[in-house]
Amino acid sequence: MLARAERRFRGEVAAGRLRLVEGSLTDLPFGDDALDGAITTNTVYFVPDLGGAFAELARVLRPTGRVVVGIGDPEAMAKLPMTPYGFTLRPVDDVIATLEQAGLKLAEHRKLGAHPGQFHLLVASPQS
């Protein structure tokens, strides 16, 4: 994915507007208060220590920063053929509680789509 992103955003990287790095969500390669924002989509299923990952995001976000966590509805995801293979499905309320326990305050919970099983966007910021 890094190579793909480097090709896709070649101009932004060359201009210094974008820096792409590889790292673990539980051990991010950034200093404290280093980022204005972070987006993670469809990754919470594969992180055993979700609280640790969210605490790490809280650590690297500036006080005015935002993190967006995108997740599928767990009931809808449970019906998909691939989810028995390595996915950990979590209720949305549990993900929100884990965000808050890790030092992030939920600012917005947006549901995309008007159907059951819609996608969820959770927007959070560091607790002050």
Query: Would you say residue 128 has pLDDT above 90?
Result: no
The span from the CA of 68 to the CA of 62, in Å, is 14
Amino acid at 122: L
pLDDT: which is higher, 96 or 115: 96
The span from the CA of 29 to the CA of 21, in Å, is 8
Full set of structural domains in the chain with CATH: 30-126 (3.40.50.150)
The span from the CA of 81 to the CA of 119, in Å, is 17
Q: CA 71, 49, 87, 117: dihedral to nearest 10 degrees?
A: -20
Distance of CA 49 to the CA centre of its chain: 13
**Residues 100-114: pLDDT tens digits?**
999 999 999 999 987
The span from the CA of 31 to the CA of 26, in Å, is 13
In eight-state DSSP terms, residue 61 is: E
Query: Would you say residue 72 has pLDDT above 80?
Result: yes
Q: For position 113, what pLDDT does the model report?
A: 83
Q: For position 106, what pLDDT does the model report?
A: 97
- Output phi, psi for 51, to 5 deg: -60, -40
- Assign 1 a pLDDT band (cuts: 50, 70, 90): confident
- Assign 116 a pLDDT band (cuts: 50, 70, 90): confident
**Residues 14-65: pLDDT tens digits?**
999 998 988 899 999 999 999 999 999 999 999 999 999 999 999 999 999 9
Q: For position 46, what pLDDT does the model report?
A: 94
The span from the CA of 106 to the CA of 49, in Å, is 19
